[in-house]
Structure 1
Amino acid sequence: MGRKNDGKKKAPQQEEEPRVRKRSTRWSTLEDTAWSDIFYCEDRKNRYNFIKTFGFNQEKGFSDELKAVPEIYDELRRRKWLKFNSLMIKDNVIGNVRLVREFFANAWKEPYDQHTDRAYVRGVMIDFSALALNKFLGAEIPFWCALESATIDFPKWPEVRRSVIKNFVGRPGTQWLKYTGGEFPTKIRLGDFKPVARAWAEFVVHNITPVSNSSEYQVENALAVKLIMEKKDINLGQWLVRSIRRISNNGQPSFTLGHCNLITALCRAMGVPEKDDDNPCLPIRAMTLRYFQNYDVGPVGAQPRAARARANVVREEPEEDEEMIEIDRYESGAHPTQQQPPEMPRPTYSEDEVSALMTQLAIARACNVPHTFYSDQSVLYQQARAREANFRPPPLYPQYSSLA
């Protein structure tokens, strides 16, 4: 006999635990040897638990209104990126947050296996190689990728060569942002870009190489914008898979995820099942013609066009104003409606640790070592360089000042 309802409320349903599979070694495929119906092995489940609260940098495409700007839509058409752009528009695809986090967890690889561009997602093996992505998107596959070739030795580019990029994408008067710890400048203010360059710049860092803060624009991404505008051959799938690998294998304590719409669409095309309690990724609006026309065109430092327009014209389109506010918010890297990763405390280092790194850097310079392999963005490196700038070493010959 069944149990009678005693009137008690049911406990709230928690996130379903993955069903662990029994492994088979005879005639087994990769799917058959998976640890569970969700995760390929137990390490992937641990990776999911690590990233499951991380926020997304959501995609943002060009609206159909941008067909009035031939430098944008003609280029999308020529490169066969129209389907890719359509997937970035909120009315076309609603991303699945949990599904994409499971994808990134299963795409995580050990260093010796990071060349394998496949991820097990809910019982389906997803091929996200450059070839598979280009086929799915219908993108043009060039014989030679100008971006890949240009970025091989990019870290060694001197400032004069980087300035060619800055002057190409930036309006007159564009300056480098202040930089510390590195030998060459690395960032430009996004607001200083020329209109077409800025539109492509936003497209790149929202859809192709997602970053959490796009207002300070990396010059390496600006190089990609320059190559797009110069109609140079670019392998979109190759570019996307490099970004997916970077996110999947990111070792930082917190970072931003991306490609939610793209990965969701790819998984759906491969028949990956979805659940009723999967949560959607909150979309942002596509770039409109009105928003594009409000980009500044004059020299940097002049009164912004948007400020002049708002001072002289009565607002008659409140919905459009709300749209611009929303886009501006995402442009600055703020995602208030999405759960963000916890803020990590800034690490501290002892005097001996800072001094040891200073000594190693000094030895490397004295021996003309071409690479030190230290991250110039790390706190320890920046502390060492800051102290080095204020440190006056004693003379080599203290007893003979004339020889010092």
Structure 2
Amino acid sequence: MAASFVPPGGGHFGLFFRQAVAPSSAPVASRRLAAMASSSNPKRMKTTVGNPSKGQKRKERIYSHYFLTKDNEDRFQVVMQRKLVAERKVILKPGEVNEFQLELIRRGWERLGSYPSTFSVTLVKEFYANAKVTTPATPTFLSYVRGKRVPFDADTINEFLGTQLADDVECQFSVLDDEGVAPGELIQALCLAGEGFHRGTIQRGSLHPLARFWSAFVHANISPCSHVSDLTEGRATILYTILTGRVMDVGQFIANEIHQCANAAGKAALGHPSLITHLCSLAGVDISVPPLEKATQDLDFSYFQRDAFAQNQMAPKEHNSRLRRKSTSIWRTQPPPSVIHPC
């Protein structure tokens, strides 16, 4: 879908998006580089959805209107115990957190900040249960909700968000994630002067204000996580990619995140519920199934101000405490820098 930005002086809100109806177009070309599957388990995956012939579709046996197989039905009982991490809508007036707005627009990510809305908890969890790969023949990046096939491959997500990359543009994020980023470079791009990393993570309080705002956006809309007090290596690399102006195939990354989450063991939270509800709607699913929940707190200027105020209040005590700690790093296999460079 296309989106337009109301420039300063042209409206009340800098990020008030007017969604246009996307024209039918040829499928977007496959990306040459895939993003990592998860920030904690980076694996490149090509999100190609299988396209079985009509004959194959006729022969396919569906377990029920709700689940592809008995295994998927059993999986639903597990998924029901997992929490959802809702996306956050960006609402900013012209000039508010201007660097954030300009970068969001430059990347064509306006819709990534505007689409979050009400979602169906039940449908999202059915989606995740049916997205689990149960046999070697199960198509990946394709789920099933209430009798409808729901694709969630990179091309489908990028088309919905309007974030397609040109055919000759490579995803620089996946290269950075594969090769690693030097700790000193991460610190310089993300942290306040004198701050750094400790025990393999960067504390949220160590980030400069713009990085903290982007961190809140990433933790909700790109790489969802219920634990937001610090940055893992993968999410720090996402922030580094954004703040240094490098290219990221966000649709590929989100597709991999959903796939990884659907097939993961344990009780990790499930992300992208609003996006998944939109994908279900595009596939023809009735998305009014209760219970319905709204996206979480908006990312607006009041949030930015409260966050900055809280950071200023805790800064002296926290900073002195960190100075007494010995900074260590487990980023990749690279040793920590001998000198922590200020921003």
Report if TM-score (shorter chain) is over 0.5.
yes
Which amino acid is 1:169 matched to?
L
2:178 corresponding residue in structure 1: 152
| Higher strand residue share | 2
| CA gap 1:56/1:211 in 2 versus in 1, 3 angstroms | same
8 Å Cα contact 2:73-2:129 kept in structure 1: yes
Q: Aligned with 1:62: secondary structure?
A: strand
2:223 corresponding residue in structure 1: 209
Do structure 1's residue 169 and structure 2's residue 193 form an aligned pair? no
1:35 corresponding residue in structure 2: 63
Which amino acid is 1:257 matched to?
L
Which amino acid is 2:195 matched to?
T
Partner deviation per Cα, 1:264-293 (whole Å, 9 max, x = no partner): 1111122112455x2113432211212213
In structure 1, distance between residues paired with 2:292 and 2:283: 19
8 Å Cα contact 2:189-2:243 kept in structure 1: no
In structure 2, distance between residues paired with 1:298 and 1:147: 32
Partner deviation per Cα, 1:300-352 (whole Å, 9 max, x = no partner): 84379xxxxxxxxxxxxxxxxxxxxxxxxxxxxxxxxxxxxxxxxxxxxxxxx
| CA gap 1:298/1:270 in 2 versus in 1, 3 angstroms | same
| CA gap 1:243/1:268 in 2 versus in 1, 3 angstroms | same
Which residue, out of 280, 302, 309, partners 2:292?
280
The correspondence of residues 357-376 of structure 1 with structure 2, limited to 5 A, is none
Q: Aligned with 1:273: secondary structure?
A: coil
8 Å Cα contact 1:171-1:299 kept in structure 2: no
Q: Aligned with 1:136: secondary structure?
A: helix
Q: Aligned with 1:302: secondary structure?
A: helix
The correspondence of residues 158-237 of structure 1 with structure 2, limited to 5 A, is 161-177=182-198, 179=199, 185=200, 187-237=201-251
Partner deviation per Cα, 1:158-179 (whole Å, 9 max, x = no partner): xxx12320232111122323x3
Compute the displacement of 1:30 (Å).
Answer: 7.0
Q: Please provide the CA RMSD for this pair.
A: 2.7
Compute the displacement of 1:238 (Å).
Answer: 0.7
1:266 corresponding residue in structure 2: 279
TM-score w.r.t. length of structure 2: 0.70
Partner deviation per Cα, 1:197-235 (whole Å, 9 max, x = no partner): 111111111111111201021132112112112221111
Do structure 1's residue 77 and structure 2's residue 90 form an aligned pair? no
Compute the displacement of 1:134 (Å).
Answer: 0.5
Unaligned runs of 5+ in 2: 1-53, 319-332, 334-343
Which residue, out of 72, 76, 80, partners 1:52?
80
The correspondence of residues 123-134 of structure 1 with structure 2, limited to 5 A, is 123-134=147-158
Unaligned runs of 5+ in 1: 1-25, 180-184, 305-370, 372-404
8 Å Cα contact 1:172-1:300 kept in structure 2: no
8 Å Cα contact 1:48-1:101 kept in structure 2: yes
Partner deviation per Cα, 1:337-389 (whole Å, 9 max, x = no partner): xxxxxxxxxxxxxxxxxxxxxxxxxxxxxxxxxx9xxxxxxxxxxxxxxxxxx
1:136 corresponding residue in structure 2: 160
Which amino acid is 1:68 matched to?
E
TM-score w.r.t. length of structure 1: 0.60
The correspondence of residues 331-346 of structure 1 with structure 2, limited to 5 A, is none
Compute the displacement of 1:66 (Å).
Answer: 6.7
Aligned residues: 263
Q: Aligned with 1:61: secondary structure?
A: strand
Which amino acid is 1:139 matched to?
T
Q: Aligned with 2:293: secondary structure?
A: coil
8 Å Cα contact 2:91-2:298 kept in structure 1: yes
In our comparison, the structure showing a higher alpha carbon Rg is: 1
Runs of 4+ in 1 over 3 A off after TM superposition: 110-115, 296-301
In structure 2, distance between residues paired with 1:31 and 1:192: 57
